[in-house]
């Protein structure tokens, strides 16, 4: 295949982290195809506009994706770059995931100006987080904490911490590292303490299914191990009909030839919490089979009842 020339337009959110991710994909493409012209189309999504309410109440993480997909559909952009944890479990008809890049650290970060670790927070301390997944795990493990919603980009959240609005906040390690803010991490939370979201730390590149030229161009950017794990994690959520209103975590990790995965479902208050795990001998197995198997263990442990209560309450 000859090196493609011409122009590619990348649709991206306008937050600093999203722009970093788009520039990262842009550079990866230019490194492989030096004659290719790659431009960014920055967009303000509905998820970026609605900062006064929790994502669960305004439509979920898909609000960060829809406008970018619309730009692909009407030809304003050729590809869209997303955080995989923000992507709905099922792509709309006619769209394809051309690549899932090598994963950055998938863990959550504890950030505080006063306390060295999550376990050192005193009862009643105000802690901020943007996700029901994190909130439910905090409430389950540390019921004495005052967990409060925290929306906005990474810099906005850090500013609110510095202003004293929170004793601590929880952010993704990957976002802090990509923005050069790794020194702000007070402690990294291991998956046993805060299980990541499906796809956390990975970047996805989306295009129209009919654009086989783009799918071929994006293929070398794909990291097979990351893609396998992300597919398994997303299958847990898909099997459980997970969305932003469901406190759910899933994390798959290669351990030599094996792949191990743990997942949980909880009520937002953390009082109902089920978790389980599974593994396969190697990645020749189906990632969806592993995800389904772990999800079925959660269902056997009571996940359906938790989900039914969430649906009733909403």
Q: Could you report the per-residue pLDDT of 243-296, keeping only the tens digit for each?
A: 556 899 999 999 988 999 999 999 999 999 999 999 999 999 999 999 999 999
CA atoms within 13 A of residue 184's CA, in its CB half-sphere: 24
Q: Could you report the per-residue pLDDT of 65-116, keeping only the tens digit for each?
A: 989 999 999 999 999 999 999 898 889 999 999 999 999 999 999 999 999 9
Q: Annotated catalytic sites, by residue?
A: 86
Interaxial angle between packed helices 16-32 and 154-162, expressed in degrees from 0 to 180 and rounded to the nearest 10: 140
CATH superfamily placement of domain 233-309: Porphobilinogen deaminase, C-terminal domain (3.30.160.40)
Strand 6-13 relative to strand 36-43: parallel, antiparallel, unpaired?
parallel
Report pTM: 0.90
Q: Considering only 14-28, 36-50, 202-216, which range has the smallest mean pLDDT? A: 36-50
Question: What residues contact 102, with CB distance under 8 A and at least 6 apart?
Answer: 202, 223, 225, 226
* Confidence band of 47 (pLDDT split at 50, 70, 90): low
Question: What residues contact 286, with CB distance under 8 A and at least 6 apart?
Answer: none
**Per-domain boundaries in the chain:** 6-100+200-222, 108-189, 233-309
Say yes or no: do domains 6-100+200-222 and 108-189 share a fold.
yes
CATH superfamily placement of domain 108-189: Periplasmic binding protein-like II (3.40.190.10)
Exposed, middle or buried, 37 (CB in 10 Å: 0-12/13-18/19+)? exposed
Residue 138 near residue 74 (C-beta atoms within 8 A): no
Q: Could you report the per-residue pLDDT of 191-240, keeping only the tens digit for each?
A: 999 999 999 999 999 999 999 999 999 999 999 999 999 999 999 999 99
Interaxial angle between packed helices 224-239 and 287-301, expressed in degrees from 0 to 180 and rounded to the nearest 10: 30
Three-state SS at 202: coil
Q: Which residues pair with 40 in a beta bridge?
A: 10
Three-state SS at 229: helix
Q: Which CATH class is domain 6-100+200-222?
A: alpha beta
* Confidence band of 20 (pLDDT split at 50, 70, 90): very high
The rounded distance, in Å, linking the Cα atoms of 308 and 314 is: 10
Three-state SS at 250: strand
């Amino acid at each position: 295949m000859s090196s493609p020339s011409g122009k590619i337009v990348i649709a991206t959110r306008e937050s600093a982290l999203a722009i970093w991710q788009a520039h990262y994909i842009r550079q990866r493409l230019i490194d492989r195809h030096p004659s290719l012209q790659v431009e960014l189309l920055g967009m303000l999504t509905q998820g970026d506009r609605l900062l006064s309410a929790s994502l669960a109440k305004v439509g979920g993480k898909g609000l960060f994706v829809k406008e970018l997909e619309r730009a692909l559909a009407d030809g304003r952009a050729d590809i869209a770059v997303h955080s995989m944890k923000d992507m709905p479990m099922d792509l709309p008809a006619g769209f394809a995931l051309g690549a899932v890049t090598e994963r950055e650290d998938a863990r959550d970060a504890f950030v505080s100006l006063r306390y060295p670790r999550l376990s050192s927070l005193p009862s009643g301390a105000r802690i901020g987080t943007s996700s029901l997944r994190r909130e439910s795990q905090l409430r389950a493990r540390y019921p004495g904490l005052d967990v409060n919603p925290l929306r906005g980009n990474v810099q906005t959240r850090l500013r609110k911490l510095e202003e004293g609005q929170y004793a601590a906040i929880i952010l993704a390690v990957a976002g802090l590292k990509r923005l050069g803010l790794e020194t702000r991490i007070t402690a990294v939370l291991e998956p046993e303490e805060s299980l990541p979201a499906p796809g956390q730390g990975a970047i996805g590149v989306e295009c129209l299914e009919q654009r086989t030229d783009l799918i071929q161009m994006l293929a070398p950017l794909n990291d097979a191990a990351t893609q396998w794990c992300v597919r398994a994690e997303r299958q847990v959520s898909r099997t459980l009909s997970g969305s932003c209103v469901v406190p759910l975590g899933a994390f798959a990790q290669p351990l030599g030839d094996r792949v191990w995965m743990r997942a949980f479902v909880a009520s937002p208050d953390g009082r109902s919490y089920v978790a389980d795990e599974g593994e396969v001998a190697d990645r020749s197995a189906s990632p969806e089979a592993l995800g389904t198997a772990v999800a079925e263990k959660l269902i056997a442990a009571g996940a359906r009842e938790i989900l039914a209560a969430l649906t009733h309450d909403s």
